Amino acid sequence: MTANPLLQPYATPFGAPPFDAIRPEHFRPAFDAAIGEQKAAVAAITAGGEPTFQNTIVAMEKSGMALERIAAAFFTLAGAHSNDDIEAIERDIAPVLSRHGSEISLNPALFARIDALHKGRERLGLDAEQMRVLERYHTIFVQAGAMLDAEGKQRLATINERLATLGTLFSQNVLADEKSWSLLLEAPDDVAGLPDWLVAAAGQAASDRGLTGKHVITLSRSSIEPFLQFSARRDLREKAFAAWIKRGENGGATDNRAIMAETIALRAERARLLGYESFAHLRLADTMARTPGAAIELLTSVWDAGRHRAAVEAGELQDLIAEEGGNFALAAWDWRYYADRVRKRRFDFDSSELKPYLQLDKVIEAAFYTAGRLFGLAFEEVRDVPTWHPDVRAWKVTADGGRFVGLFLGDYFARASKRSGAWMNGLRDQQRLTGDVRPIVINVMNFSKPPAGKPALLSFDDARTLFHEFGHGLHGLLSDVTYPLLSGTNVSRDFVELPSQLYEHWLERPEILSRFAVHAETGKPMPAALLRKVLDARTFNQGFATVEYTSSALVDMDLHLLPSGKDVDVMAFEEGVLERIAMPPAIVMRHRAPHFQHIFAGEGYAAGYYSYLWSEVLDADAFNAFEETGDVFDPAVAKRLREFIYSAGNLRDPSVAYEKFRGRAPDPKALLRKRGLDAVAGVGDAVAG
C-alpha cells in the first residue's frame, strides 16, 4: 500500500496526478482506502455533539477529498485512454461507488443534522456563501431520498447501484462498436471527392491500425462527418452512415437495447419512490426550467421553426440532385454532401477552402488570446507534467503579472482507447476551504491526427468545439469560491452550458479569425473575401442542425416522462416520437438512443439534453451585451461576466446570477436571431418566465 502512488501526496509539478507511475492495479486498493476514510469521517460527524455548520457541513466538505482525487484520475483514464484492465475496474467499481454514495445520502443520522441546521439556518449567523452551501446540501439529500422510510431507502440504493452498472456497460458497448468498425478505402475511386487533408487524416488512421499505405475512415465524428460531407461515392456514404447510426444496436454482447429499457424503468421507479410524477419531473425540479413543461415549450417552439426551415433546405438539395441527373430521393447519408455543394454555390464558398486556415495550434492560441483579452489570463506551455498519453499537452495559467490560476491540459486527437465526443472535466477543483487550492482542468477532443510533421487542420465545427470545451475549462479555471460543493461547473445542468456556448461566439469574430486563421503552408491570413463568406454562411443549414439536435432532446424528454417505463421498447418508442413530431425523413437524430451517451452512460444529461438549447437562449442574449457596446472585449461587460458567471460557481441561483450579469432576464428572441430562424410566439414565456 505504501508504494501506491494514488495514496501518497502527489510530488509532481502543480500537484498533478502521477500518471507516469499509476498502474491499473493501483486503483482498487486506492478506492477501498479512500472509501474507508470517508466512512470513518462520516461516522465521526454523526457521533459528534450538537450539529454546527463547522462540525457537519464543513466536515462533510472535507470528508471525500481523497476519494474525489482518486476518482478524477481513474475516470480520466476510463474516458480518454482506456484498456481492458481499466474497463474491468470500471465495471467493478461503479456499483461500489454507487453503494457508498447511497450510504451517505441515505444516512438518517447525517441527514438529521443537516435538516436541523437547515431549519435553524436564520439563527446560525452564516454568510451568503455558507447559507448557499447549507441549502444545497439539504436539497441534494432530499432529492437523493433522505426522507424515505427504511424500506424505500433500501430499494432506492439497490436501484442506484444497478443504474451505475448499466451506465458503465452502455458506455463501454458504444466504445466497443466504435473501435471495431472502420471503412477501408482501397481503390483510387474510394477517395473520390475527398480533400487532401481528409485523405491524409485517413492515411494516418490506417497507419495507426497497421495498414500503412491505405486509408481508413473511423466512427470518430471528426473522421466520419467530413467523409459524409465530401465523399462522391454515395454507396460508401451510405455504408459509413449506417454504421454511424447503428452503434449500440448491432446485436450480440455490445447491444444496448436491453440496457436502455431497464434504465428507463429503474429511473421511473426511483422518481415514484421520491414522490415525482416521472424521472423528468425529478431531474428538472432543481434546474432553471423547473418543470418538463417549460423545457418542452422551448423545444417545441424551436422545433417548429427548425422543421420549417429544414423542409426548405431539403427542397433545395433535392433540386440539386435532380439537376445533376440523380434519380433518387434525398437520404440522410446525402444531406451533408449536397448541403456542402449548395453552400458552395450560394456563397461561392467551398468549406474545404477553410480548413487550411484552421490549424489546431492556431485555434488553441486564439482561445487563449480571447481569454487574455476578456479575463487577463496568460498561458505558458509546460512539458514536465505527467500525462496519460504522449499527445496530451499542459499549460500553466497565470494572471495579474504572474499569479498562478491553475493548470490546463488538452488531449485533442482521436484514438481507439478514447470514447467519442468532446468534454471537460477537472482533476482538481478550485476551493479555499483547505488552503488556496488551484484547479487542474482537462479538455478532451477527438480530432483527426495528422501525419507526422504536418499540422492538424480543423473544420469550423471542430474549431467551435474547441472553443466550446475551453469555455467549460474557463468556468473551472476562473472559479473563486470557498466550498468545493459550489466550485466551477457544479451548477444547474441547464446553466452549465452558458459559459461554453457563449465562448463559441468569439471564434466567429473578425477580430479573432483575421488574426489566427492563417494558411498552414503559406502563413498568410485568411483573405478578407473568404472571411466574409464564412460569416455570411453562419446560419446556412440551420434547419438541419436545429432538427438534428431538437429531435434528440424531445426523445430524451419523452422517454423520461414515462410514468412507469416498464417493458418499454425504446427503439419503438423513439420511432413513435419521431413520427408524432413529423421528423423529416432525410434527417436522423444527432444521437439515436442506442448510442446516446449523454443520457444513458450515466445521468449527466438524462431528461436534460434540452439544456443546450436553454443555455443557448442565455448565450445569445449574453453576447449581445458585448455587441451593444461596440466592443466584443468591453472591459466592463467582461468584468461582470467573470464576477457573476465564470468565477461564481454555484454561489447564486442561476436566474439571479444571469440577471446580475445582464441587468435583466434573457431575451429569448436572441436565440432565433442567432440561428437565423423566424421568430416563434411563446418562446419568451418558457425561459424568461
Catalytic residues: 469
Whole-number Å distance between alpha carbons of 374 and 659:
20
Distance from chain centroid for Cα 242:
24
Whole-number Å distance between alpha carbons of 291 and 289:
6
Which residue is associated with the grid cell 482498487? Answer: 28
Taking a C-beta distance cutoff of 8 angstroms, is the pair 338, 320 a contact? yes
3-class SS of residue 381: strand
Helical ranges in 52-107 per DSSP H: 59-63, 65-80, 84-105
Whole-number Å distance between alpha carbons of 316 and 335:
11
Closest to 344 in 3D by CA, of 504, 200, 229: 229
> How many C-beta neighbours within 10 Å does residue 403 have?
11
Whole-number Å distance between alpha carbons of 661 and 202:
45
Whole-number Å distance between alpha carbons of 193 and 357:
20
Helical ranges in 106-191 per DSSP H: 108-119, 128-143, 150-180
| Alpha carbon distances (Å) from 306 to 7, 297, 549, 608 | 52, 14, 10, 20
| Alpha carbon distances (Å) from 171 to 91, 99, 266, 279, 670 | 11, 20, 18, 21, 35
3-class SS of residue 397: strand
Taking a C-beta distance cutoff of 8 angstroms, is the pair 595, 552 a contact? no
Taking a C-beta distance cutoff of 8 angstroms, is the pair 349, 530 a contact? yes
Whole-number Å distance between alpha carbons of 394 and 69:
19
**Reduced 3-state DSSP string for 411-473:** EEECCCCCCCCCEEEEEECCECCCCCECCEEEEEEEECCCCCCCCCECCHHHHHHHHHHHHHH
List Cβ neighbours of 529 (8 Å cut-off, separation of 6 or more): none
Grid cell digits, residue 503: 465562448
Whole-number Å distance between alpha carbons of 71 and 425:
12
Closest to 424 in 3D by CA, of 437, 436, 410: 410
Long-range contacts, 391-399 (Cβ 8 Å, 24+): 391/415, 391/449, 394/16, 395/368, 396/14, 397/477, 399/375
Whole-number Å distance between alpha carbons of 2 and 101:
26
Taking a C-beta distance cutoff of 8 angstroms, is the pair 382, 395 a contact? yes
Provide the β-strand partners of residue 288.
none
Taking a C-beta distance cutoff of 8 angstroms, is the pair 146, 199 a contact? no
List Cβ neighbours of 169 (8 Å cut-off, separation of 6 or more): 91, 259
Grid cell digits, residue 304: 417548429
Closest to 489 in 3D by CA, of 481, 368, 126, 377: 481
Whole-number Å distance between alpha carbons of 75 and 171:
12
